[in-house]
Each structure stands twice: as C-alpha cells, then as structure tokens.
Amino acid sequence: MNSSKETQPEAAWNYAELLERVDNDQELLRELLTIFKEDFPRTMRSLESAVAASDLKNAARLSHTLKGMLSSLGATRAAQAASKIEELAFAGETVSLQGAFDALGCQTASLLPEIDAYMAEVRR
C-alpha cells in the first residue's frame, strides 16, 4: 500500500515522482528539500518585489527560476503557475502579473508546511 501522502490528491508536490528521480536516496532528498526551503522563499520575495514594481525583465527571470525548482521538486501545478508569470512578463502584460503571482502564492502556500512535515516524519 502507498503511504497516505501519495494518495492525497491535493498534495502540492509529488513525493513519489521526486523519490523516483533521486533513486530512493533519502539523504539526497533531504538535501534537495533543504536547498528548496532556502531558495524558494527568497526567490518568491524577489519576484513579489519585481511584480509590484512592474519590472518585467526580473519577473521573467525569477519566475523562470521558480518554475525550474518547482518542476524539479515535482510540484507540477505550482510550476505551471510560475510558467504563467514568465509568459505574461515576456508578453509585457503588466496588468495581469499581480493576479498570476497571487495564483502562484496559493499553489505554493501549503508547500513549505508539507515539506516540513515530511522532513519531521523521516527524521523520526
């Protein structure tokens, strides 16, 4: 039987996919999650400022970075939300940026708590 985490359809990140990608290496998984916990909030804050300032160039760059780390983590829907911001920034659609950023915020809100929960669980 699968663990409860994998069967929850609303999980923000696909734990099974990520575990497969790291070849079931729990240590590497923890290392990647630690990198994520550090880089993700920082990049989000920078993106938020760029969006607020209608800085299209940096909004495109930062959303691209977020898309990369989110898709590596297996957070597919959040990665799509970041991709949407990148597209809008490239297209110069300043007006829609804030809405797209908020959508990304919603998609990723549960991410860090989930990761923390997971890391606490494996530590036991």
Partner 1 sequence: MKILIADDEALSRRLLEKTLERAGYEVIAVENGKQALEELQKLNGPRLALLDWVMPEFDGPAVCRAVRTRSEQAYVYMVLLTSKGSKEETVLGLESGADDYLTKPFNAEELRARLRVGERILLLEDRLVEAREHMRFRATHDQLTSLLNRGAIMDLVTRELHRSRREQKSTVILLGDVDHFKQVNDTLGHVIGDEVLIEIANRLLGSVRSYDFVGRYGGEEFIVVLNNCDPNFATGRAEEIRKSISNRPIQTAKGPLNLTISIGMLLSSEWGPRTIEEILHDVDAALYEAKAAGRNCLRVIHPPASEEPLAAPVPQAVRLRR
DSSP 8: -
Q: Cα-atom radius of gyration of the chain, to the nearest Å?
A: 15
| Residue number with CB closer to partner 1 (4 or 30) | 30
Instruction: Give the residues lining the site for partner 1 (CB under 8 A).
Output: 21-23, 25, 28, 31-32, 35-36, 39, 61, 64-65, 67-69, 71-74, 83
| Residue number with CB closer to partner 1 (1 or 22) | 22
Least distance to partner 1, CB of residue 73, Å: 7
30 CB neighbour count, 10 Å cutoff = 16
